[in-house]
């Protein structure tokens, strides 16, 4: 089945630092989605990417849909305490199933 490799699994950074995480796949996807999940809550959509090569920003967040359609990255600039949480990438191919990465747990030291 399709698998996503998300890295890093965890990050410990200082407030104000930039963050970068990425996902790679063995399969081609038509859509890449990035979610953030806080403890006890459902995943919240951060950025949706629909075209290969697309670069999209949402405030301090920037994500790109890789040109090969097998990878995507998410950058967070100037991190703040509320950025703490688990970030999931998710890819969607031709069917309705969303394939999730294993998540990146972000911890910020003030």
Partner 1 sequence: DTEVTQTPKHLVMGMTNKKSLKCEQHMGHRAMYWYKQKAKKPPELMFVYSYEKLSINESVPSRFSPECPNSSLLNLHLHALQPEDSALYLCASSQRSYFDRPAAFSGNTIYFGEGSWLTVV
Q: Which residues pair with 54 in a beta bridge?
A: none
Residue selected from 65, 88, 91, 108 as contacting partner 1 according to rule CB under 8 A: 88
97 binds partner 1 (CB under 8 A): yes
Angle at 106 between CA 31 and CA 59, to 5 degrees: 55
| Strand ranges, E, within 15-84 | 19-25, 31-37, 44-49, 55-58, 61-65, 71-76
Tokens matching residue 87: 């970030």
Residue selected from 1, 40, 59, 81 as contacting partner 1 according to rule CB under 8 A: 40
Q: How far is the CB of 42 from partner 1 (least distance, A)?
A: 4
Binding to partner 1, residues 12-31 (CB under 8 A): 30-31
Chain positions contacting partner 1, by CB under 8 A: 30-31, 33, 35, 40-45, 48, 50, 88, 90, 92, 94-98, 100-103
């Amino acid at each position: 089945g399709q698998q996503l490799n998300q890295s890093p699994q965890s990050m410990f950074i200082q407030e104000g630092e930039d963050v970068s995480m990425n996902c790679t796949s063995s399969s081609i996807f038509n859509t890449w989605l990035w979610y953030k999940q806080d403890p006890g809550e459902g995943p919240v959509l951060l950025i949706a990417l629909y075209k290969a090569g697309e670069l999209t920003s949402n405030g301090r967040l920037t994500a790109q849909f890789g040109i090969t359609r097998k990878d995507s990255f998410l950058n967070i600039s100037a991190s703040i305490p509320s950025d703490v949480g688990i970030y999931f990438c998710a890819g969607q191919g031709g069917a309705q199933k969303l394939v999730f990465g294993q998540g990146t747990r972000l911890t910020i030291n003030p």
